[in-house]
Amino acid sequence: MDNILEETKFIMNKYHIRANKSLGQNFLISEDIVNTIVDSSEITKEDLVIEIGPGLGTLTKYLLEKASKVICIELDRKMIKILLDRFSGYNNFDLLNQDILQVNLKELIKYEKNDDSIKHVKVVANLPYYITTPIIMKLLEEEIELESITVMVQKEVANRLIAIPGDKETGAISYSVYYYAEAESIIEVPNSSFLPKPDVTSKVIKLKIRKEPPVNVEKKEILFRIIKCAFMQRRKTLLNALVNAKVFENKEKGEEILRKLNLNLTIRPENLSLQDYANITKLAFPSK
Ligand code: SAM
């Protein structure tokens, strides 16, 4: 079948599928967008691709042609039958009926990398939006050997994820993403590219995992905790937020640290660079 919309309707009819909203099921029906996702993920025959939430298999079909191996992780059992019917014939297809948040990706990848033909691991997905942040954080924080993450997410979330710290859209998570990856926006996607149409506009983004972090801190957990504390009270100045959160012992100590770093005492949390936060971490929690 040459038309993705027709193919999607045909499969949904054949298997009596109604999109499950609570699982974030909005199936892609735009061939252009599918091609853009596949092209921008730059898959080669040396790649293991992990696809999160393959659904009816729209992206999967293309990924299987390009990759050495594709492992799909799908929670909905109804999709499993469809995916097995469609792709069992491919010898580079594997499927896990699990919640992505419960999968031990580190172990999985370690095992797959025993196969010499696999040099890189890439994640590609049209994500279930209700768990975008936990999925992205899992992929980044577990420090699995990933090369890149190419995903469709809600536009507003995309903008926050890829904001360079200091940009207008900066949130606490922008610093985490920036620490682990170089992010780029690939394409904005209207809701008409999905069936059913989501209420929101979407965006495809690509995160290229850094080999080395852009800042040096002894304990990155402390750095991220400080950033989180700063953003919990976003309307306050950084100084007040960090005094309230007891990151700074008291106001005087906080002022002393900010002065040392040449930071304005009224600076807001979103106006600091990652390096600024790294410097604060070092001064507030010096290594013993
Ligand atoms: N890849 C398909 C496409 O582009 O048409 C479907 C994308 S749909 C936005 C998200 C998919 O993620 C659905 O198939 C849904 O069942 C699946 N999903 C939802 N929660 C999940 C979870 N916790 N773990 C794995 N898959 C999940």
Taking alpha carbons only, the member of 118, 109, 14, 4 closest to residue 60 is: 4
Phi, psi values for residue 18, rounded to 5°: -120, 130
Q: Domain spans of the chain?
A: 2-209, 220-284
Q: How far is the CA of 125 from the centre of ligand 1 (A)?
A: 8
Mutation probe of ligand 1 site: the residue of 10, 70, 126, 195 with most atoms within 8 A of C-beta: 126
Other CB atoms within a 10 A radius of the CB of residue 237 amount to 18
Question: Hunting for tokens 């002894």 — which residue is that?
Answer: 218
CATH architecture of 2-209: 3-Layer(aba) Sandwich (3.40)
Which helix or strand (DSSP H or E) is residue 182 part of? strand 181-189
The whole-number average pLDDT for the span 19-27 is 97
Burial string for 9-19 (b: 16+ CB within 10 Å, else e) reads eebbeeeebee
CA distance 89 to 94: 11
Phi, psi values for residue 73, rounded to 5°: -120, 110
CA distance 80 to 78: 5
The whole-number average pLDDT for the span 54-73 is 98
Other CB atoms within a 10 A radius of the CB of residue 126 amount to 28
pLDDT at 276: 97
pLDDT at 282: 95
The whole-number average pLDDT for the span 154-161 is 98
97-149: per-residue pLDDT in tens?
A: 999 999 999 999 999 999 889 999 999 999 999 999 999 999 999 989 999 99
The whole-number average pLDDT for the span 259-282 is 96
The whole-number average pLDDT for the span 37-63 is 98
Kindly state the tokens that stand for 237.
């100045």
**Low-confidence winner among 93-97, 147-151, 216-220, 226-230 (lowest mean pLDDT):** 216-220
Phi, psi values for residue 112, rounded to 5°: -65, -30
Percentage of the residues of the chain whose pLDDT score is greater than 90: 93
Length of the chain: 288
CATH architecture of 220-284: Orthogonal Bundle (1.10)
The ligand 1 site (C-beta within 6 Å) comprises: 23-28, 52-56, 58-59, 73-76, 79, 99-101, 126, 128, 131
Q: How far is the CA of 26 from the centre of ligand 1 (A)?
A: 8
Q: Which residues contact residue 39 at a Cβ distance below 8 angstroms, ignoring those fewer than 6 apart?
A: none
The residue contributing the CA closest to ligand 1 atom 12 is 53
Q: Which residues contact residue 276 at a Cβ distance below 8 angstroms, ignoring those fewer than 6 apart?
A: 261, 263
pLDDT at 273: 96
Count how many Cα atoms sit within 13 Å of the Cα of residue 283 in the half-sphere of its side chain: 17
pLDDT at 105: 97
CA distance 265 to 69: 53
Percentage of the residues of the chain whose pLDDT score is greater than 70: 99
Tell me the pLDDT band of 287, cut-offs 50, 70 and 90: confident
The closest-lying atom of ligand 1 relative to the alpha carbon of residue 8 is 5
Is 2's pLDDT higher than 90?
A: no
